Amino acid sequence: MGEALQPTTTMTDTSEPHVAKSGESISPIFENAIDSLRIGMDFFQRNSSYSSHKHAILTVFHAIELLLKEQLHRTNPILIYKDIDKKVTDNSFTVGLADAITRLENIGSKLPDDQKKIVEKIQSRRNRIEHHRHDYKEAEDENIIAEALKFIFYFTEFVLETRLEDHIDHALIRPMKQRVMQYNELQAVAEFRFETWATNQWPKWEKTVEDIPDEFEGTYDCPECRQSWLVIGYHPKPFCFWCNVPVDTKICENCGITYLVKTEHICPL
């Protein structure tokens, strides 16, 4: 078993780091997740430079990975390891984000589609940061942090059944909630803008019957905000209903990723 999973409290240890404000005991994995979340958000909120955003985002992603592992660990401690058919040692690898989600599904903890989509987005964003570069855009960073927080609030309260409020100071948690609320509001406004435009374009479209009009190929990821509200081919330039402005976008024929015309695209394929 990994050392980090063993409670370190001994008879002589008088401090009680493993107890929440509510009195419930905290596992070392969960404590580690909360710690990453606290450090990541504190960093994100205090600094807006390229480098601090990058590190803050990776730290918050790490918190998500640990929260998923906490649920696996509660089911059976062995489930946090990547290869459960080999002998587990201190050096055994643990599961990553994508595998953790699949494993949770297999044991009956299926995530709602929108939450699953957030984790997939986080996984691809992490790959972009780690293997290519962190293409710094303030709007995108704000959105990815808001999405990560949205997932964290959901997962902690409704899957792990504990409240973040019992583990994190209100001074830090209040702006975190505001980010999620603002994100939800912007999402609703973008959706309304899109629907108004699409109803105009295809007056026969009944949104209660079809998600999008039959003749419409669908929206793309906007390279500016990384939200899927970009429409290509109907306006003089591609138009993003989240940003509410035209966005000079190209699509890579090789990988299908959208990118800004003014930036260089490093194709991952």
Q: Which residues bind Zn ion (CB under 5 A)?
A: 222, 224-225, 240, 242-243, 252, 254-255, 267
Give the residue with the Cβ less far from Zn ion, 69 or 121.
Answer: 121
3-state DSSP of the chain: CCHHHCCCCCCCCCCCCCECCCCCECCHHHHHHHHHHHHHHHHHHHCCCHHHHHHHHHHHHHHHHHHHHHHHHHHCHHHHECCCCCCCCCCCCECCHHHHHHHHHHCCCCCCHHHHHHHHHHHHHHHHHHHHCCCCCHHHHHHHHHHHHHHHHHHHHHHCCCCHHHCCCHHHHHHHHHHHHHHHHHHHHHHHHHHHHHHHHCCCCCCCCCCCCCCCCCCECCCCCCCCCEECCCCCCCEECCCCEECCEEECCCCCCEEECCCCCCCCC
In angstroms, what is the minimal distance from the CB of 107 to Zn ion? Answer: 36
Q: Which residue type is seen at 135? A: D
Give the residue with the Cβ less far from Zn ion, 104 or 231.
Answer: 231
Give the residue with the Cβ less far from Zn ion, 176 or 240.
Answer: 240
Give the residue with the Cβ less far from Zn ion, 144 or 222.
Answer: 222
Give the residue with the Cβ less far from Zn ion, 18 or 137.
Answer: 137
Instruction: Identify any residues that bridge with 251 across adjacent strands, giving them in sequence order.
Output: 258
Give the residue with the Cβ less far from Zn ion, 51 or 184.
Answer: 184
